[in-house]
Amino acid sequence: MIVCVCNNISDREIRQAMELGITTMEELRRDLGVATCCGQCLSCAEDILTKHLTSTPTAAIEETVLKRPVFTS
């Protein structure tokens, strides 16, 4: 479905952009041009963004500590 008529941006393109790392409306505006003309698509784009972010599990970030070998003389 076309979300942004002014820039011909579909919901699929918005989801693909989010899969590539976009997480905010500012990034959608910058990278795709969503909601940069008439603004009628803003609420729909925000809904897609919110639903995608809440349905996608975030990967657990594990901190690793590199241990250097200790040499004794």
Give the SS3 label for residue 10.
strand
Tokens linked to 2:
């076309």
**pLDDT at 59 exceeding the cut of 50:** no
Q: Which domain CATH number covers 12?
A: 1.10.10.1100
Does the residue 65 lie in any domain? no
Tokens linked to 68:
């250097």
Does the residue 44 lie in any domain? yes
Give Cα separations from 63 to 56, 57, 58, 60, 66 (angstroms): 21, 19, 15, 10, 10
pLDDT tens for 3-55 read 999 999 999 999 999 999 999 999 999 999 999 999 999 999 999 999 988 88
Which amino acid appears at position 10 of this protein? S
What's residue 60's pLDDT?
44
**pLDDT at 67 exceeding the cut of 90:** no
Query: Which of 52, 39, 56, 59 has the alpha carbon at shortest distance from 13?
Result: 52
Output 25 or 56, whichever has higher pLDDT.
Answer: 25
How many domains is the chain built from?
1
pTM greater than 0.75: no
